[in-house]
Structure 1
Amino acid sequence: MTRSIQTQEWVQQKIAEGDIEGGMSAGQTGTSIFDPVLCELAYRWFCPPGGVILDPFSGGSVRGIVASKLGRSYLGIDLSARQIAANQEQAAKICGAPEPRWINADSRDIDSLAEGLAADFIFSCPPYADLEIYSDDPRDLSNMAYPEFVAAYREIIAKSCAILKDDRFACFVVGEVRDKRGAYYGFVPDTIAAFQAAGLAFHNEAILITAAGSLPIRAAKQFEATRKLGKTHQNVLVFCKGDPKKATAAIGAVEFGEIDGGGDTEYGEEL
């Protein structure tokens, strides 16, 4: 039997009740919530039932809470003691077993922090370089110049992937970021390269469309002045450690939803 929690309605209800709030990017305002539907789909599609999820950038509570509600174990690591305390408080109100677990620490120490852990899925939404400064902690990646940021980011990804079991998937949700001159850093390809350097294959990419809000108005002014296009999406990057057929077999049947086989290539990808 599968466990469906109707994430969109459920999370919105919990936000209204004050049980779930945003991550550090919201400045604790409750306005920034990781997409719960994407979270549920990622767990159901890429993590075995009862599996262990590792999240090296666990700023908000949604990924841990949804994991618990779907019967997956979850370990998240984040530098903000305030955010970890908020996550734990929220989870205590609405989660049963398995309870999500958060550690207040530097993810560059994830190899020792998660010693003995064998993860079935890596799932995270990392800081987008210096797009938002989360704290004045010198260990905070958002405080670093981009070359230093990428070096630390690659280290965390490599150590996280070493904890991932063979024949398993990993997924990062990222977006592109501009430098002070207005040019893209190349954060998306840098993320792909980091996982490939860690020995994983680039398996899937999806685009998550986010709410436009006032973007059309802002983008029109920006385009007139700089020819920069407005952006209202994030990249959902999926990687595989080992054999994708064995990784798929470990997950089992898709828990819900229909998949339209658009092609006849080896892994069902469209031609």
Structure 2
Amino acid sequence: MSKSTQIPVTDIILNEDNPRQMSEDKFPRLIESLLVFPKMLKTRPMVLDENGVVLGGNMRTRALLWIKDATLQQLKERLEAQSKYKNMTEYEQKQLIEFWQSWQARPKVYVTYAEGYTEEEKREFVIKDNTSFGDWDWNELANNWEPMELEEWGLDCWQPDKVAEGGDNDGSTGSSSEAGKHGSLSDKFIAPPFTILDTRQGYWRQRKAMWRERIADFGESREGTLADGETNCMATINNGVSLLDPVMAEIVCRWFGIEGGTAFDCFAGDTVFGYVAATLGMSFTGIELREEQATLNNERVEGMCARYICDDGQNVGKHIAAGSQDLLFSCPPYYDLEVYSDKPNDASNQPTYEAFLDILENAFANAIDCLKQNRFAVIVVGDIRDKEGYYYDFVGDIKRMFKAHGMPLYNECIIVEPIGTLPQRVQRYMRNRKVGKCHQNVLVFYKGDIKAIPTTYNEITYASEDLAAFGMDNNDTAE
């Protein structure tokens, strides 16, 4: 390779044999990415052969040719589509536009020449320059990078409706191999398997609506039990009650259940988890204290491989054999945030937080005995405040509880919930400087030898017929 030098962009010959292509919707994103970061052009020169034909940077050259002929209005429109430009000062925006106007008057780019390459080596270079052998650390991206920025830089974030499309492997767009791999994750995992789960995303909302329509559980049996409009357990507010999010239920079954296995919940509540688990081929047993709720649940799952038993969750061992279950999932009561009944053994109806915890620990200790070895328990919880306004550390208490009974914490996710009516309520909260809470915690515990997980659990797959069951496919748009 020679040292980089500048030549007019019009002197570059596009490589018409380059197999890397770019879709119409991604090409403007490449243009925008170049416009807001012109410094990159100097440190990432085009690679040409001795005849001036592009070996590396074909798409960038096309984008620069567009920029060369763009009007001032077109430049502004493309720049204004980028958050980086919007966050600039007025002076910085003016300087950037003036840079590109000056460049248009003398449109030169940095290039380097592949000297002494044979024709076969040129062909090899074209492919290898657009190939990535590495994998993105999606968890790192989710936690330390802004999705909007990643999208603008050309990396497809979690968008199930997007198909894998080509781009120029120049740092401005993601490689097609990576985009394809990432796109297929939506088929496998439903939502990105990161520590952050965002229920506000279009793909989540669309899937949730489809489940809701099928399940048709609107919390009729406990209308008006929810205090102060607060939510728990990935809740949808309906008739003054909180309902489990069915997409969360589906994720738990897919990620931590055994296909064709058994699942149970010692604080069953509504129908959602039992319905979802049975739909996905698992046999489900729920223990529900309130007779009217258990009866209603059984009516909804009639004909499915699911049953609800009316009893105290602390008695789960009387109905389920020890070491017989493949998955424990529960969203327990949040103390007195939502009082379900006036029964003396109702966890939500206890006079003290300590008495409430005693019931939960008895129930979960017995439930853990019902689990097989090398199995998961998934508990969805969120912290709650005492009467003075301080947090109890309910999440920490659940962690300590499970660890004391032989199931240490294995994963923890944060679920970001829809804002809903929080903006109205937070006006009142902030008088006491209480910030609005819009997340819950998913605690994943494991019983057994973690080295056995890869052999106990199959690789997650999500077949096209599963999508068809919801009347959707990979190309459905999640608005």
Q: Tell me the TM-score normalized by structure 2.
A: 0.49
Native 8 Å contact 1:52 1:72 kept in 2: yes
- In the aligned structure 1, how far is the partner of 2:284 from the partner of 2:331? 15
- Aligned residue for 2:249? 39
Correspondence 1:246 to 2:447: no
1:115: Cα distance to partner? 3.0
Q: Which runs of 5 or more residues in structure 1 are unaligned?
A: 258-271
Cα-to-partner distance string for 1:219-251 (whole Å, 9 max, x where unaligned): 13311x211111011100000001123134222
- Aligned residue for 1:115? 321
Q: 1:22 aligns with which of 219, 227, 232?
A: 219
Paired AA for residue 389 in structure 2: G
- Aligned residue for 1:85? 295
Q: 1:50 aligns with which of 252, 260, 263?
A: 260
- Aligned residue for 1:12? 212
Cα-to-partner distance string for 1:115-160 (whole Å, 9 max, x where unaligned): 3561101001000011111111001011111011111111111111
1:13: Cα distance to partner? 1.8
Cα gap change, 1:26 to 1:251, in 2 (>3 Å): farther
Cα gap change, 1:196 to 1:211, in 2 (>3 Å): same
1:33: Cα distance to partner? 2.4
1:32: Cα distance to partner? 3.0
Q: 1:199 aligns with which of 397, 406, 409?
A: 406
Paired AA for residue 61 in structure 1: T
- In the aligned structure 2, how far is the partner of 1:26 from the partner of 1:209? 25
1:7: Cα distance to partner? 4.8
Q: Moved runs in structure 1, 4+ residues, more than 4 A?
A: 23-28
- Aligned residue for 2:282? 72
1:197: Cα distance to partner? 0.7
Where 1:206 maps in the other structure, the secondary structure is strand
Between 1 and 2, higher relative CO (CA 8 Å, sep ≥ 6) is seen in 1
Native 8 Å contact 2:322 2:369 kept in 1: no
Paired AA for residue 242 in structure 1: G
Paired AA for residue 78 in structure 1: E
* Equivalences for residues 99-138 of structure 1 within 5 A: 99-115=305-321, 118-138=324-344
Greater CA drift, 228-237 or 19-28: 19-28
- Aligned residue for 2:424? 217
Q: 2:433 aligns with which of 215, 227, 230?
A: 227
Q: Which runs of 5 or more residues in structure 2 are unaligned?
A: 1-187, 191-205, 225-237, 464-479
- Aligned residue for 1:260? none
Matched residues, number: 246
- In the aligned structure 2, how far is the partner of 1:100 from the partner of 1:23? 20
Correspondence 1:187 to 2:394: yes
Alignment RMSD (CA, Å): 2.2
Q: Tell me the TM-score normalized by structure 1.
A: 0.84
Where 2:419 maps in the other structure, the secondary structure is coil
Where 2:242 maps in the other structure, the secondary structure is coil
1:23: Cα distance to partner? 7.4
Cα gap change, 1:176 to 1:69, in 2 (>3 Å): same
- In the aligned structure 2, how far is the partner of 1:23 from the partner of 1:47? 29
